[in-house]
Amino acid sequence: MDHRTGMSRRQFIASTAALGLFAATARAFAQSAPKKGGTLAIGIEGASTGDTLDPRTFNSPYWSVAAGTIFNTLVEVQGPANELKPGLAKSWEGSNGGKTWVFDLVDNATFHNSKPVTTADVIYSLQIHNAEDSRSNSRAIAAGIASMTADGFKLTVELTEGNYFFPAMLSNYPLCIIPEGTTTFDGVGSGPYKIARFSPGEVLELTRHDGYFKTDAAWVDQVVILAANDPAARASAFQSGQIHIASMLDTRTAELIKTLPGKALVTLSSSQFVGFNMRADMAPFDNADLRMAMKLAIDREDVLKRVYGGMGRIGNDTPIPPNDPLFAAGIPQNSYNPEKAAELFKKSGFTGPLQLHTSDAATVPAVDMAALFKEHAAKAGIEIEIIRDPADGYWSNVWAQAPFHATVWGARPTADMILTTAYSSASPGNDTHWANADFDAAIAAARGAPDEAKRLEIYAQAQALLSSDGGVIIPVFGDVVEGVATMVQGYVPGTQPVGNYRAAEQVWFA
Partner 1 sequence: MNLPSRKQLSPMRDFIVSRGVSGAVSLLLVTFLVFVGTALLPGDTASALLGQNATPEALAALRRDLGLDQPLLLRYLGWFAHAVRGDFGTSLASGRAVSEVLLPRLGNSLLLASVAAVFLLPVAVGGGIAAAIWQDSWFDRLLGFTSMLFLAMPAFLVGYILIYVFAVRMGWFPSMSVAPFFGGAAAWINILALPVISLVIIGQAHTMKLTRTAILAVLATDYVLMAEVKGISRRRIILRHALPNALSAILSISILTVAYLIVDVVVIEMVFSYPGLGKLMVDSVSYRDLTVVQACGLLFALIFIGMNFLADFLALLVNPRQREPARGA
Residues near partner 1 (CB under 8 A):
39, 41, 43, 48-52, 59, 133, 135, 137, 196, 199-203, 205, 222, 224, 226-228, 230, 232-233, 236-237, 239-243, 390, 392-393, 395-397, 399, 408-409, 428-429
Q: Are 265 and 258 in contact (CB under 8 A)?
A: yes
Helix pair 338-348, 288-296: axis angle to 10 deg: 160
| Residue 39 C-beta: closest distance to partner 1, Å | 6
**Nearer Cβ to partner 1 (264/362):** 362
**Nearer Cβ to partner 1 (349/393):** 393
| Residue 135 C-beta: closest distance to partner 1, Å | 6
Angstrom distance (rounded) from CA 275 to CA 432? 11
Question: 284: cis peptide before it, omega within 30°?
Answer: yes
| Residue 431 C-beta: closest distance to partner 1, Å | 9
Angstrom distance (rounded) from CA 68 to CA 51? 16
| Residue 186 C-beta: closest distance to partner 1, Å | 13
**Nearer Cβ to partner 1 (93/230):** 230
Taking every pair of C-alpha atoms in the chain, what is the biggest distance, in angstroms?
Answer: 70
**Neighbour count for residue 471 (Cβ, 10 Å):** 28
Strand partners, 154: 104, 151
**Nearer Cβ to partner 1 (227/341):** 227
| Residue 399 C-beta: closest distance to partner 1, Å | 7
The C-alpha angle 268, 494, 467, rounded to 5 degrees, equals 65
**Nearer Cβ to partner 1 (148/175):** 175
Q: Which of 14, 37, 27, 8 is closest to 509 using CA atoms? A: 37
| Residue 453 C-beta: closest distance to partner 1, Å | 34
Q: Are 394 and 361 in contact (CB under 8 A)?
A: yes
| Residue 363 C-beta: closest distance to partner 1, Å | 12
Angstrom distance (rounded) from CA 219 to CA 228? 24
Q: Are 327 and 321 in contact (CB under 8 A)?
A: yes
**Nearer Cβ to partner 1 (205/250):** 205
Angstrom distance (rounded) from CA 173 to CA 57? 11
| Residue 384 C-beta: closest distance to partner 1, Å | 24
Per DSSP, helices labelled H in 307-436 are 338-348, 364-378, 394-397, 415-423
**Nearer Cβ to partner 1 (215/240):** 240
**Nearer Cβ to partner 1 (184/351):** 184
Q: Which of 102, 63, 103 is closest to 86 using CA atoms? A: 103
**Nearer Cβ to partner 1 (240/351):** 240
| Residue 206 C-beta: closest distance to partner 1, Å | 10
| Residue 2 C-beta: closest distance to partner 1, Å | 26
- DSSP label at residue 130: G
- DSSP label at residue 110: B
**Nearer Cβ to partner 1 (109/206):** 206
CA distances from 196 to 76, 106, 228 (A): 25, 26, 19
Q: Which of 149, 106, 197, 171 is closest to 495 using CA atoms? A: 171
CA 444, 294, 299, 320: dihedral to nearest 10 degrees?
-10
Angstrom distance (rounded) from CA 360 to CA 406? 10
Angstrom distance (rounded) from CA 248 to CA 465? 32
Angstrom distance (rounded) from CA 22 to CA 9? 14
Angstrom distance (rounded) from CA 213 to CA 192? 8
**Nearer Cβ to partner 1 (225/492):** 225
Under 8 Å CB-to-CB from 282, ≥6 apart: which residues? 403, 433
**Nearer Cβ to partner 1 (87/478):** 478
| Residue 64 C-beta: closest distance to partner 1, Å | 14
Reduce the DSSP state of residue 50 to 3 states and report it: coil
| Residue 397 C-beta: closest distance to partner 1, Å | 6
| Residue 229 C-beta: closest distance to partner 1, Å | 8
Kind of pairing between the strands at 222-227 and 39-44: parallel
**Nearer Cβ to partner 1 (398/498):** 398
